[in-house]
Structure 1
Amino acid sequence: METETITENQKVRVAKKLKKMFGHMDRREMEYCPIRDVMALASDKWSILIILYLGYFPILRFNQLKKKVYGISNKVLSERLKILEADGYLSRQMYPEVPIRVEYQLTTFGHSYLLKLIDLSEWVTTYSDQIIDNRKRFKKG
């Protein structure tokens, strides 16, 4: 019974948060949706990995990031870094050396997002077996 009460309370809190988030929006005037815009850029698989790695390794150079973010092309890494810098998640420091050295690190704002990503990553780790089982059942069904 207590579990049901907690679940119902959580549902009520979530409903209130969602109403606050979406309740004021007029669908006809939604050319720009800040939630969709920000989440799309900051939550793609590459950006998440870049932010997580910069959280673990406080300063990384482009090639170091490329090695850690397995499978990303130079072009996509460069694009994502520019977007994350423009949005304020990370900073870029260039040193006038030969060859030029460029280092990336999270900003304070980026660290605040990193904390949320860690929470989400922990949730994924906790429920990954269940998700895989659900996928298998879905394919069989």
Structure 2
Amino acid sequence: METITENQRLKTAKKIKELFSPFLPREEAEYCPIRDVMALASDKWSILIVLFLGYYPKLRFNALKKKVGGISAKVLSERLKVLEQDGYLIRHAYAEVPVRVEYELSPFGFEYLQRLVELTEWITGHSAAIMARRKDALIESRD
């Protein structure tokens, strides 16, 4: 198991300070753009939508709903609107009867997808250890 060096801690703390210093002290910050963007970009439905649109270049609403699984039509519609508004997705509406609508990632959304894939790889590499810790914690809490 790797150890975290003091130098790594200092570099990370410096990056965090640079990112968040405009919004500190926290109790005075009414609006934090980092928190605002992260709230949408990291919610489970938005992540799944982006991941599936990364795998399937274009998807219609119902196909996306089936792929994501467990999401209501209302929530999917809301997430798609916000993801489109923020620039992650491109919505194509075709003048047909009935209207056909397809979604795809924008270049910005694809850049975000690349970061999600990196995070997903990290999670995959560490999930067994995390699950073992959870199991140990559950056993300890029962004792």
Q: Normalization by structure 1: what TM-score?
A: 0.91
* Matched residue, 2:8: 10
* Matched residue, 2:20: 22
User: Is 1:91–2:90 an aligned residue pair?
Assistant: yes
Once the two structures are superposed, what CA deviation does each residue of 1:11-39 show, in whole Å capped at 9, x if it has no partner?
Answer: 22211111111233232431111111111
Paired-residue identity, %: 62
Structure 1 distance, partners of 2:33, 2:139, is 38
Structure 2 alignment gaps of length 5 or more: none
Structure 1 distance, partners of 2:61, 2:89, is 13
- The aligned amino acid for 1:126 is G
Secondary structure (helix, strand or coil) at the match of 1:121 reads helix
Cα deviation for residue 7 of structure 1 reads 3.2
Q: Normalization by structure 2: what TM-score?
A: 0.90
Once the two structures are superposed, what CA deviation does each residue of 1:43-94 show, in whole Å capped at 9, x if it has no partner?
Answer: 1100000000101111110011011001111111101101101111001010
* Matched residue, 2:68: 69
Aligned counterparts, 1:1-141, within 5 A: 4=3, 7-24=5-22, 25-141=24-140
Structure 1 distance, partners of 2:17, 2:62, is 44
Structure 1 alignment gaps of length 5 or more: none
Structure 2 distance, partners of 1:35, 1:74, is 28
Structure 1 distance, partners of 2:7, 2:125, is 22
- The aligned amino acid for 2:19 is M
Once the two structures are superposed, what CA deviation does each residue of 1:103-129 show, in whole Å capped at 9, x if it has no partner?
Answer: 000111101111110010001100111
Greater CA drift, 48-57 or 20-29: 20-29
Total equivalences in the alignment? 138
Secondary structure (helix, strand or coil) at the match of 1:75 reads helix
Moved over 6 A (4+): none
Structure 2 distance, partners of 1:18, 1:27, is 14
